[in-house]
Amino acid sequence: MTPEQFDTALEELGIKAADFCRRTGLVPNTVWRWRKAITPIPDWVPEYLGALLEVKLLRAALDLERLAGVLADVRQPGAGVAGEGAESQAEGLETTSSGALTG
């Protein structure tokens, strides 16, 4: 991993180098030396950052899945989504033998 890749990974994760140091127990000087290419970045760092990115992506996917479920519930016939006309709000309603609407 190059220093540029390290910085890009931190940016994608939305964390700062200081946050990375706190999470990993490293002193800031170590990360500073990596970023200045004074010492090589250890092999465990890209694996660690990759795992964090996977967790972030999984969380985003779960959030999208939950949102899709909410949207599906709202868009069910008869749910009456704001901004829709009376015709779409009346979908799913039935008339009883007395003429009353049910739904």
14-44 pLDDT, tens per residue?
999 999 999 999 999 999 999 999 999 999 9
Q: Is 93 inside a domain boundary?
A: no
Distance of alpha carbon 101 from alpha carbon 82, whole angstroms = 21
* % of the chain at pLDDT higher than 70: 73
Domain membership of residue 35 as a residue range = 3-78
100 located within any domain:
no
Q: What's residue 24's pLDDT?
A: 96
Instruction: Identify which has the larger pLDDT, 4 or 63.
Output: 4
What's the confidence (pLDDT) of residue 102? 46
Are 37 and 5 within 8 A, CB to CB?
Answer: no
Any domain includes 97: no
CATH number, position 59: 1.10.260
In a domain, 36, yes or no: yes
* In a domain? residue 92: no
What is the tally of structural domains in the chain?
A: 1
Average predicted confidence (pLDDT) for the chain: 81
**94 belongs to a structural domain:** no
Task: Decide if 98 is inside a domain.
Answer: no
